[in-house]
């Protein structure tokens, strides 16, 4: 008698065994690290014990304390050296500006001819911050103008139709370094001139850097005008901004920076101070033209 393929010899049905599950590709670490030999501890208890054992080790405590003392000593040395070359409190003074001051100062740089009082205001023998005195020099406008000039130079070179294209990522660094080197050279020349002319004033490197950095405002206006109206517009804007900046530098250095007391010395010294002021003012259009003429075609 033939039997159905699903039954055995005694008529009973064979039960199929389920296939075993394949081994997991990765160990389940949701409950802790793997407990396999050579792995990490399976639970957090052993980890906590190791940490507590490390913290309780006298040598470890000594090493941690020694490392903390070295870090603290290094931090103090950095602050000491920083204050040695750069006074943070004086630097904060040149960035104490607000929106009203920035707007008025930009207007003064573009059209300074109607400004009457150029003297820096004092309170208890200390100069007022820029946000309270329009004649006080600041470093906020030169810093922002410098960054804007670099970006504008990259854009101006990028839109020029030349073969090969002049713009590349290295151009921004080249423009920034060139403009910065010119300002540093100008400040060093002014410091040398003040030393040779024996000018007694409160001028510091930050003051000279601020006055030298105001030229970036004129450079931005000249380049923007050149991009919008061509080379003719560029030269008109260059002439206007250069003359305005020269007038601003002369009045500021003679009145706000040098002060009236420094002009009361002997005649030869007064002439040296006058030549220094006029030389610093006359140098501004040359730098403006040199750093902007290649950006407008």
Report the pLDDT averaged over residues 211-228.
95
Beta bridge partners of 13: 7
What own/partner pairs with CB < 8 Å and gap ≥ 24 does 159-165 have?
159/227, 160/297
Q: What is the mean pLDDT of residues 25-50?
A: 49
**Each residue's pLDDT tens digit, 38-54:** 444 445 545 554 545 54
Give 119 or 26, the one with higher predicted confidence.
Answer: 119
> Quick one: pLDDT at residue 78?
53
- The pLDDT score that the predictor gives to residue 13 is 44
Per-residue confidence at 32, pLDDT binned at 50, 70, 90? very low
Tokens of 295: 């950006």
Residues 85-90: contacts with CB under 8 Å, at least 24 apart: 90/204, 90/206
pLDDT confidence of residue 95: 94
Q: Is the pLDDT of residue 149 over 70?
A: yes
Q: Picking from 113-122, 212-221, 250-259, 270-279, which range would have the lowest pLDDT averaged per residue?
A: 250-259
DSSP 4: -
pLDDT digits (tens, 9 = 90+) for 151-184: 999 888 888 766 555 667 787 888 899 999 999 9
Residue 142 reports pLDDT greater than 70:
yes
pTM over 0.75: no
pLDDT at 88: 72
d(Cα 76, Cα 90) in Å, to the nearest integer?
20
Min mean pLDDT across 80-84, 146-150, 163-167, 224-228 is at 80-84
Quick: pLDDT tens for 223-269: 999 999 989 999 999 999 999 999 999 998 887 555 544 445 556 66
CB crowding 149-184: b at 16 or more within 10 Å, else e: bbebbbebbeeeeeeeeebeeebeeebbeebeebbe
CA–CA separation, 277 and 120 (whole Å): 17
| Residue appearing with tokens 């930009």 | 106
């Amino acid at each position: 008698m033939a039997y159905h393929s699903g039954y055995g010899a005694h008529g009973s049905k064979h039960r199929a065994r389920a296939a075993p599950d394949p081994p997991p590709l990765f160990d389940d670490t949701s409950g802790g690290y793997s407990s396999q030999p050579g792995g990490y501890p399976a639970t957090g208890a052993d980890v906590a014990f190791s940490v507590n054992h490390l913290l309780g080790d006298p040598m470890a405590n000594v090493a941690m304390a020694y490392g903390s003392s070295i870090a603290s000593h290094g931090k103090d040395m950095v602050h000491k050296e920083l204050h040695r070359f750069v006074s943070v409190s004086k630097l904060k003074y040149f960035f104490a500006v607000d929106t009203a001051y920035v707007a008025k100062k930009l207007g003064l740089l573009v059209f300074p001819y109607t400004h009457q009082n150029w003297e820096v205001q004092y309170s208890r023998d200390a100069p007022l911050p820029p946000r309270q005195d329009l004649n006080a020099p600041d470093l906020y406008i030169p810093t922002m103008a410098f960054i804007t000039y670099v970006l504008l130079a990259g854009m101006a070179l990028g839109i020029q139709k030349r073969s090969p294209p002049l713009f590349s990522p290295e151009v921004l660094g080249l423009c920034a370094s060139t403009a910065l080197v010119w300002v540093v050279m100008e400040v060093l020349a002014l410091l040398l001139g003040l030393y040779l002319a024996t000018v007694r004033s409160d001028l510091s490197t930050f003051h000279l850097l601020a006055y030298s950095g105001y030229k970036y405002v004129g450079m931005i206006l000249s380049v923007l005008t050149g991009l919008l109206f061509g080379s003719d517009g560029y030269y008109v804007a260059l002439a206007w901004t250069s003359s305005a900046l020269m007038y601003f530098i002369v009045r500021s250095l003679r009145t706000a920076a040098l002060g009236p007391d420094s002009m009361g010395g002997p005649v030869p010294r007064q002439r040296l101070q006058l030549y220094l002021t006029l030389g610093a003012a006359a140098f501004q259009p040359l730098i403006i033209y040199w750093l902007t003429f290649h950006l407008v075609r």
